[in-house]
Structure formats: structure tokens, C-alpha cells
């Protein structure tokens, strides 16, 4: 295989995205010393990014015990009294960290709210140090009192997922026919937001305006999602308007592209609409980590993804400004003065 730089031709990306299945990609060769092997893996990712915007990954490197510890920590947190959790209300922070109550966010403006609880954190060293230079998203995490080991378990998974995300950027670069280190200077301060999510059982009459999380796209470059193995809830929208189930597959995580990559690639890479509806009859937990670029990076269409016939589709904004504006819109309906 020729591993020299290959120009990215927009004509190769005109697809209809009428997928019926979500591909599974094996990351065992993500750091293989053979460039041809990495190139072949990047080509698989490229195909998934263009046509689906979602894929599963196996051999992702996050130990099962790390996942299990974090899930148990999440269960202990969400079992706390409502008053204890509301003391960490996400609206009390300038950077959207902390607790979100049931129906506290509304990702689809046509809905009445999202039927889940959440707990959000951003970058923090294991020692407890946060960053003081994250622009629009600057601010510390908030943590509950009286939950021994909670912070440690959550941060262990957080940093494992961040390392996985960092290993994906060179593959995304290759998939875009860019040098493998293209994103290195744009991800020096990992802008990764992680959520612990709890979806109660949704019973009673079906109300399409109240869902676990309404139809939306994610805001960052990509999302790394752990989802509970025995609960089918996540659905992905294809170009025919059909909802395709992203069923949990043991040993895998789900990766989906977000708006930052769509903006950077001028919609060559798909930021695909998705939702979650928990009518499984049991409670559901999930852990998404949203991985973006440094918050001061400008989201400007790559030269290889624009042409005279296909000009840039989006105005240029910084990553931090974009993420914060989307979060403000998502939480606006539940905001009260504090």
C-alpha cells in the first residue's frame, strides 16, 4: 500500500448515509509501528466517519475493572437524596459542571425535557488540580461529600478515556489524509467533558416529547461512550429518516463524531443525530466522554474539504465559544437565578 500523502477529493465523500448497521472497528493496531497497518485502520475509520458517523471499538484499552468501579460509583451518587445532589446544581457553575436533575436539560427544543440525571466533570489532574486557562469553559469541578472513593474512581476512568481519545486523533488525521501529528498542537489541553448518566425506567403512555435524551448531535470532535450491556436505548438516525439501534455489544465502546469535526471537515465527516429512549423496564447507566480540541482553537474548514463548488458551510468560531453556546441553549429551559 502506498503510504504517501493522498489528496482528499471531495467527490469521494458524496454519500447518502443510508446505513442499516454500525461498524465494529478493532483498535489493536492503533499504535502498530507499521505505517501501512495504521493506514488500513484509518481507512476503516474514514469509511465509518463519512457514511455513518458512528462506530464501535474493541480492544480499546480501558480495563473492565476501571469501568465497573466507575459504574458502581455512579450508582452510589445517583442514589443520594435529591437535596444533596441539587447542592451541586450545574447552573451554579459558570462552566457547566455538576449535577443535572431529571428534565433539567432539553437537547431537542421540540421536546419537554430529557428524562435522565447527570453528573458532569471536566479536566482535572488525579492530584485535584484543574486548569485555569480554558477560556469560555474555565472553572473547577464540583464533587459530592460523603462518598469515599467516588472522585478517585471517576477520575481513573476519565483519564483512561482521555488516553483512548488521544490515541484516536492520529487515526482521524490519517483518515483525512493529514499528517498523523496534525492534531497534536490542537489538543495540548484535552478539552474533555465526561458525564455519568442515569436513565430511570420510562413507563406509562408513550410521549414522544419526553425521551431519555432527545434527538441531537454532540458538540465536540467525538464522543467515547460506555453503555450498559443489557439495555437497548441508543438510536442513530440515517439519511432515510430511520432510527437504527446502536445495541450494546460486550467488550466495546461506541465512538460517534460531533459538531467540531463536522465544522472542521465541512460536513465531510458526519455529526449524526442520535437519541436514547429507555423503555427496557430496567434502569440504565451510561458514561459518555466528549473529546474536543483545546478551547482556544478556531474551528475553520480544512482546505482539503472546501472547493469552489463546495465552499465552507460554517462561520469560524473557537471550540470553547461553540461548546459553551450549545450548553447554554441545552440548559436554558431549566435555568433559575442562583
Q: Which residue has the higher pLDDT, 4 or 37?
A: 37
User: pLDDT grade, residue 236 (50/70/90)?
Assistant: very high
Please state the rounded mean pLDDT for residues 62-73: 98
Q: Tell whether the model's pLDDT for residue 132 goes beyond 50.
A: yes
Distance CA 242, CA 228 (A): 23
Q: Tell whether the model's pLDDT for residue 70 goes beyond 90.
A: yes
pLDDT at residue 134, as a whole number: 62
Distance CA 140, CA 129 (A): 9
Distance CA 114, CA 212 (A): 5
Please state the rounded mean pLDDT for residues 239-250: 92
pLDDT at residue 11, as a whole number: 46
User: pLDDT grade, residue 105 (50/70/90)?
Assistant: confident
pLDDT at residue 254, as a whole number: 98
Q: Which residue has the higher pLDDT, 18 or 93?
A: 93
User: pLDDT grade, residue 9 (50/70/90)?
Assistant: very low
Residue of 270, 289, 332 lying closest to 155 (CA atoms) = 289
Q: Any idea what DSSP says for residue 89?
A: B
User: pLDDT grade, residue 140 (50/70/90)?
Assistant: confident
pLDDT at residue 204, as a whole number: 64
pLDDT at residue 4, as a whole number: 37
Q: Tell whether the model's pLDDT for residue 124 goes beyond 60.
A: yes
Helix ranges (H only) for 130-255 are: 150-175
Mean pLDDT of the chain: 87
Question: What does 24-66 look like in DSSP terms, one character per residue?
Answer: EEEGGGTT-S-HHHHHHHHHHHHHHHHHTSEEEEES----HHH
pLDDT at residue 71, as a whole number: 98
* CA 179 vs CA 5, 78, 98, 172, 183: distances in Å: 8, 43, 37, 10, 9
265 touches 305 (CB < 8 A): yes
pLDDT at residue 138, as a whole number: 64
Express each pLDDT in 31-59 by its tens digit. 999 999 999 999 999 999 999 999 999 99
Q: Is the sign of the CA dihedral 77, 92, 296, 214 positive or negative? A: positive
Express each pLDDT in 247-298 by its tens digit. 999 999 999 999 999 999 999 999 999 999 998 889 999 999 999 998 889 9
pLDDT at residue 3, as a whole number: 35
Cell 465523500 sits at which residue? 13
Q: Which residue has the higher pLDDT, 30 or 294?
A: 30
User: pLDDT grade, residue 221 (50/70/90)?
Assistant: very high
Domain 9-331 has CATH 3.20.20.10: no
Distance CA 139, CA 137 (A): 6
Give percent of the chain with pLDDT exceeding 90.
Answer: 62
User: pLDDT grade, residue 29 (50/70/90)?
Assistant: very high
**What is the pTM for the complete model shown?**
0.90
pLDDT at residue 7, as a whole number: 37
Q: Which residue has the higher pLDDT, 191 or 79?
A: 79
pLDDT at residue 338, as a whole number: 45
pLDDT at residue 82, as a whole number: 95
228 touches 284 (CB < 8 A): yes
What percent of the residues of the chain are helix, what percent strand, and what percent coil, each to the nearest 5?
Answer: 30, 20, 50
> What is the DSSP pairing of strand 117-121 with strand 234-237?
unpaired
Amino acid at each position: 500500500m502506498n503510504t504517501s500523502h493522498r489528496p482528499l477529493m471531495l467527490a469521494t465523500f458524496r454519500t447518502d448515509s443510508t446505513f442499516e448497521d454500525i461498524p465494529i472497528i478493532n483498535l489493536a493496531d492503533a499504535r502498530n509501528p507499521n505505517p501501512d497497518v495504521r493506514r488500513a485502520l484509518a481507512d476503516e475509520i474514514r469509511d465509518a466517519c463519512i457514511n455513518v458517523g458512528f462506530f464501535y471499538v474493541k480492544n480499546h484499552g480501558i480495563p473492565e475493572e476501571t469501568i465497573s468501579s466507575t459504574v458502581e460509583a455512579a450508582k452510589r451518587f445517583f442514589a443520594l437524596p435529591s437535596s444533596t445532589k441539587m447542592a451541586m446544581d450545574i447552573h451554579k457553575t459558570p462552566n457547566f459542571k455538576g449535577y443535572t436533575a431529571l428534565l433539567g436539560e432539553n437537547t431537542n427544543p421540540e421536546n419537554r425535557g430529557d428524562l435522565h440525571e447527570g453528573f458532569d466533570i471536566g479536566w482535572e489532574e488525579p492530584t485535584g488540580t484543574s486548569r485555569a486557562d480554558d477560556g469560555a469553559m474555565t472553572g473547577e469541578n464540583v464533587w459530592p461529600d460523603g462518598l469515599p472513593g467516588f472522585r478517585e474512581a471517576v477520575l481513573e476512568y476519565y483519564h483512561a478515556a482521555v488516553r483512548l481519545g488521544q490515541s484516536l486523533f492520529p487515526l482521524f488525521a490519517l483518515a483525512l489524509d493529514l499528517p498523523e501529528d496534525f492534531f497534536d498542537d490542537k489538543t495540548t489541553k484535552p478539552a474533555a467533558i465526561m458525564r455519568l448518566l442515569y436513565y430511570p425506567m420510562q413507563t406509562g403512555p408513550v410521549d414522544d416529547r419526553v425521551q431519555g435524551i432527545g434527538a441531537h448531535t454532540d458538540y465536540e470532535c467525538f464522543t467515547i461512550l460506555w453503555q450498559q450491556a443489557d439495555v437497548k436505548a441508543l438510536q442513530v438516525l440515517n439519511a432515510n429518516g430511520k432510527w437504527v439501534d446502536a445495541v450494546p455489544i460486550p467488550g466495546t465502546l461506541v465512538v460517534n463524531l460531533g459538531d467540531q469535526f463536522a465544522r472542521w471537515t465541512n460536513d465531510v465527516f458526519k455529526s449524526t443525530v442520535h437519541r436514547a429512549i429507555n423503555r427496557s423496564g430496567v434502569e440504565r447507566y451510561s458514561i459518555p466522554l466528549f473529546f474536543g480540541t483545546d478551547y482556544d482553537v478556531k474551528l475553520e474548514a480544512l482546505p482539503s474539504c472546501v472547493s469552489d463548488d463546495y465552499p465552507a458551510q460554517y462561520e469560524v468560531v473557537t471550540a470553547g465559544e461553540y461548546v459553551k453556546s450549545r450548553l447554554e441553549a441545552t440548559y436554558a429551559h431549566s435555568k433559575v437565578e442562583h
